[in-house]
Amino acid sequence: MSILICGSLAYDNIMVFPERFKDHILPDKTHMLNVAFLVPEMHRNFGGCAGNIAYGLQQLGATPLPMAAVGADFDRYAERLDELGISQAYVLRDDDHFTAQAYITTDLDDNQITAFHPGAMDQNHRNVVPTDGTVAWGIISPDGKQAMLDHSDQFKSAGIPHIFDPGQALPMFNGDELRGLVANADWLTVNSYEWEMIVKKTGWTRGEALAGLKGGLIVTHGGEGSKLLTADGEADIPAVRPERIADPTGCGDAYRAGLLFGLERGWNPVDAARLGSLMGSIKIAHNAPQGYSLDLNDLTARYKTEFGSAMPA
């Protein structure tokens, strides 16, 4: 069966400024800031949370269904999805908008200035979660606000287990909205900063958050690994040491692809989170969110080496 990934399909425009922002920004002039950075190096990558998670699932051999709204400039991305064999059955085309785009400029100190244009993404509420029994699992990743609210209710009404992964969309929601989104979900996945934001907005303790989740809570801590919490207790998921650090963009999406793959197959959640950790490590060793490829035999062998047990079938 399929895994429905509600979120964005986007182009990531990555520019490298071969100097330091701080050398060109005068602290006493920030009230009238007017700067230009020459960026001789630029890359345009296929991205967006729905696209990145779908790519990871496709590499693992799953059947991903990205659900996203895209614009008039989507043709090249559509060709790539066709080449990968990823269905576009739930990709809504709106030619009155551009596809979502991120413009990220990085300096020599790895500081970043990012501008994000949502474009057609804000139309994704026009997509509806299918109820024909073809979808086994789902995830709500960063998207237009109304789409995230609607798809959450639709997953619950259809009885489809799903992950709520608010990510950078978290600031859009108030405490009551977050309580409802978490109550509808089976799993909540956040990084440590996002978890603190949820606590501040909802007033919850971890126990109170877990009480509303059928599965559990995963809090990631970057290179320090992640923590999996359920009603039965806690488990520490170690970070897998990468072969090299090339590009962190999309590591969280790769983690979620591994997690979804395991949960859809009925694995113990610890094993699913371990696969997520391994996927994140593989991704960070490659440039671009979808710049890695998997050999499943190598993946299985590495899983056993890293975690001391065989990867479930």
Active site residues: 253
The side-by-side arrangement of strands in the sheet containing 64-70 is 91-93, 64-70, 2-6, 135-140, 162-164, 187-191, 216-220, 226-230, 233-237
What residues pair up with 64 in beta bridges, in sequence order?
3
Q: What is the 3-state secondary structure (H, E, C) of 84-144?
A: HCCCCCCEEECCCCCCEEEEEEECCCCCEEEEEECHHHHHHHHCCCCCCCCEEEEEECCCC
Q: Which residue has the tokens 């413009």?
A: 103
Q: Which residue type does 254 have?
A: A
Cα(69)–Cα(49) distance, integer angstroms:
12
Q: How many CB atoms lie within 10 A of CB 293?
A: 9
Q: How far apart are CA 26 and CA 24, in angstroms?
A: 6
Tokens found for residue 43: 């890359």
Torsion of Cα atoms, 262 then 53 then 154 then 193, to 10°: 90
Q: What is the distance between the alpha carbons of residues 16 and 297, in angstroms, rounded to a whole number?
A: 36
